[in-house]
Amino acid sequence: MPTLQVSLQVLLFLIFAVGGAYRFFQPMDALAKRMRWVSCFHPRIVRSIALFEVACGIGMVLPFLLSDANFPFMVYSGCLLMLIMLGAIVTHVVIGDYREIIGNLFLIVLLYHTTFSIPF
């Protein structure tokens, strides 16, 4: 079971840190063509969301680097990412982009499982 936990932490790091960095550095026009929600927000908000995803993605693997730290990086990172995914669900419902909601729900389940070490 510890191997699954580590694998999920690395997977979530890749999804959020790498994906957030991609959204942070891509031009807004290119993002708007691929992601419908981008056109509904100011570019600073889109960049801020991407920056939070990068920071929280790094927070998912920070316990590997700082094993003796007393601060629960993974718990705070996981909770913030779950809130971001809940906001994404609300956004997709409002703009009518219902296909994207399944992916957000799946990420919330993975984040919850990884953050609180709940077995499936």
pLDDT tens-digit series, residues 100-113: 999 999 999 999 99
Q: Are 23 and 45 in contact (CB under 8 A)?
A: no
- The C-alpha atoms of residue 18 and residue 24 are separated, in whole angstroms, by 10
Q: Within 10 A of 67 (CB to CB), how many other CB atoms are there?
A: 7
Q: What is the pTM of this model?
A: 0.90
- The C-alpha atoms of residue 54 and residue 92 are separated, in whole angstroms, by 21
| pLDDT > 90 fraction of the chain, expressed in percent and rounded | 75
Handedness of CA 25, 27, 30, 35 (dihedral sign): positive
Q: What is the DSSP string of 57-72?
A: HHHHHHHHH-TT--S-
- The C-alpha atoms of residue 105 and residue 28 are separated, in whole angstroms, by 25
For residue range 9-43, list pLDDT tens digits in order: 999 999 999 999 999 999 999 999 999 999 999 99
